[in-house]
Structure 1
Amino acid sequence: MPNEFRFTADEKRSDTVFQLEDGSILMLEYESNNRFKENHLKYMRYGHRILQRYFQRKNNIKKIHLVVVYTSDVTKDSLDAGSFRISSNPVLLSEYNGDAIMENIKGKIRDNVELNLEELYKLSFVPLMYSAKGRNELTHETVELAKCIKDEHIQLQVIAGILTSTDKFIDNNYAIKVREWLKMTKVGRLFEEGKQEAVAAAVKEAVTKVKKDKLLN
């Protein structure tokens, strides 16, 4: 079970990284193409950066688990290059009925029933599942449904998860609107204020260090 997580959408680093309860790392990737070899070479680079970062900071080598969520039909799970080998656990979202999952979650939210962790994760991935609707339409509906979650922290995490999982195909203008909406929420404002405070503290620390260095010299 993850005890902390972050969502990103960057070709230079993993889409989503979890630190699990046992201290190991889960890399969660999303793919809508069948470029298996290129993707796994990319995952090797991501894993190397994570290992290097933990080793430099804590002199510790973390175990990494790789899970790849596919909207395509790729089912291979390893790339063997002799002494270098990487394996992944594929999740085929086309096997899940997104429409049925949406209706179930809608009913629970309507009846004020708290969603469990599994349902929250499923909601983040609904736009990638099988559906009779178009993917962009389903993404819009999923975001609007997530806005109905009363706990603002959970709401923010689910919508961030939706934006990350759909990053490769979501309409860019719509994604920008959702991100702007997130910033306007109470939790979003606190998050932005927290970032600003962190930057201000870092600048203050740097200025103080420069002054001390000048005094010593």
Structure 2
Amino acid sequence: MTEIAYQNKDITSKILGENLKHKSFAVYGINVPRICQVLPTNLPAIEANELRLDNLFLLEDGSLALVDYESDYDQADKVKYLNYITRTVKRCFEEGSTRAAEVPKIRMIVIYTADIKPEKTQAIFDVGCLQLQTEEAFLSIIDSEKTEIQLEEKIKNGKPLTEEEQMKFIILPLTHQGKEEKQKCIQRCFALAREVEDVKVQTFILSGMLVFSDKVVTREDSKRIREWIMLTKVGQLFEEEKLEYAKKAVEEAVLEVRKEAEEATEKEKRNTAAKLLKKGFSTAEILEVIEGMTAEEVEKLRGAKKD
């Protein structure tokens, strides 16, 4: 199995970020505020071989959530998390926060796949002068088979997915144990997601699934999913262009009808004024009868009549 290139992850992360705002991690068992914004993960480098952070979110309470996904547990990963936090704080200072009071609260969230049970981990890493408190989520609490059946039933019946169901969908492969089962689930989810009628939701689900499962998805499956997402986005643009064209055509047609109606009205006014002039009515009398005409227009008609 080969992991997808990070530049490809950047593309899908951007698409994911467009639809992840105001959604919640609560479905994974983490009680934190809703997501406000997805932030770039290109943090300042400290070590040349530093592994890259999975996701960085701005939450509605102004705090930052650093999120990492793990399929095994190693106490040494705590050092990696500390580096993430250090780099995040460093970026805060580089972007203009020059006082410690201006650095936002930082949450280190670790989402464990179904391979890890709660009793295997330690949320607190204490080295005396420093204590790291992680917020842990265990996808083993989600019944993968039951969830997949429920999602499939709703999608097959054309029913819209709730936000909670969408969040479950994107991490569904990670609720299985072992890479092989995860990869099989990715393929099933890809086929099922393509049946989602709401294109925006479909794109969110696929981009989220690809980003969250990037450590287990095969290059072939990644390529197929990314190609489908891109085709869907192109299709969306095409549909938007068609709607824009139709809207413009309707606006032009309405303007044309209004113009014709106005011209017909003006012609009718001139015909009526001409008849009144023929009967000897004065300009003042005609202006009292025909609303919207000017004395200049009436005199012009009088002059044309004399000629």
TM-score computed with the length of structure 2 as normaliser: 0.55
Residue 184 of structure 2: aligned partner? 137
Larger radius of gyration: 2
Structure 1: tracts of 5 or more residues without a match: 191-217
Residue 115 of structure 1: aligned partner? 161
**Residue 159 (structure 1) aligned with residue 218 (structure 2):** no
**Residue 18 (structure 1) aligned with residue 57 (structure 2):** yes
Residue 216 of structure 2: aligned partner? 169
Residue 56 of structure 1: aligned partner? 94
Structure 1 stretch displaced more, 172-181 or 94-103: 172-181
Does structure 1 conserve the Cα–Cα contact (< 8 Å) formed by 2:69 and 2:212?
yes
Deviation at 1:45, TM superposition (A): 1.2
Residue 45 of structure 1: aligned partner? 83
Deviation at 1:131, TM superposition (A): 7.1
The 1-side partners of 2:94 and 2:42 are apart by 24
Does structure 2 conserve the Cα–Cα contact (< 8 Å) formed by 1:25 and 1:63?
yes
Aligned residues: 189
Higher strand share: 1
The 2-side partners of 1:146 and 1:82 are apart by 48
Residue-by-residue CA offset, 1:59-110 (whole Å, 9 max, x unaligned):
1301111221112233210211222221112222123211111111122223
Amino acid at match of 1:65: R
Residue 66 of structure 1: aligned partner? 108
Change (3 A) 1:77 1:96: same
Change (3 A) 1:55 1:33: same
Does structure 2 conserve the Cα–Cα contact (< 8 Å) formed by 1:7 and 1:161?
no
Higher relative contact order (CA 8 A, sep 6+): 2
Residue-by-residue CA offset, 1:187-209 (whole Å, 9 max, x unaligned):
6997xxxxxxxxxxxxxxxxxxx
Does structure 2 conserve the Cα–Cα contact (< 8 Å) formed by 1:16 and 1:28?
yes
- Alpha-carbon RMSD: 2.8
Change (3 A) 1:158 1:56: same
Deviation at 1:24, TM superposition (A): 0.8
Matched residue SS, 1:48: helix
Structure 1 stretch displaced more, 13-22 or 126-135: 126-135
The 1-side partners of 2:41 and 2:146 are apart by 28
Change (3 A) 1:17 1:149: farther
Equivalent residue for 2:141, pick from 92, 95, 104: 95
Residue 3 of structure 1: aligned partner? 36
Does structure 1 conserve the Cα–Cα contact (< 8 Å) formed by 2:56 and 2:66?
yes
Structure 2: tracts of 5 or more residues without a match: 1-33, 44-49, 238-307
Equivalent residue for 1:150, pick from 180, 183, 197: 197
Amino acid at match of 1:100: K
Percentage of matched positions with identical amino acids: 28
Deviation at 1:156, TM superposition (A): 2.4
Amino acid at match of 1:47: I
Deviation at 1:166, TM superposition (A): 1.8
Does structure 1 conserve the Cα–Cα contact (< 8 Å) formed by 2:73 and 2:121?
no
Amino acid at match of 1:107: E
Deviation at 1:6, TM superposition (A): 5.9
TM-score computed with the length of structure 1 as normaliser: 0.75
Does structure 1 conserve the Cα–Cα contact (< 8 Å) formed by 2:124 and 2:131?
yes
Deviation at 1:20, TM superposition (A): 0.8
Equivalent residue for 1:181, pick from 228, 245, 250: 228
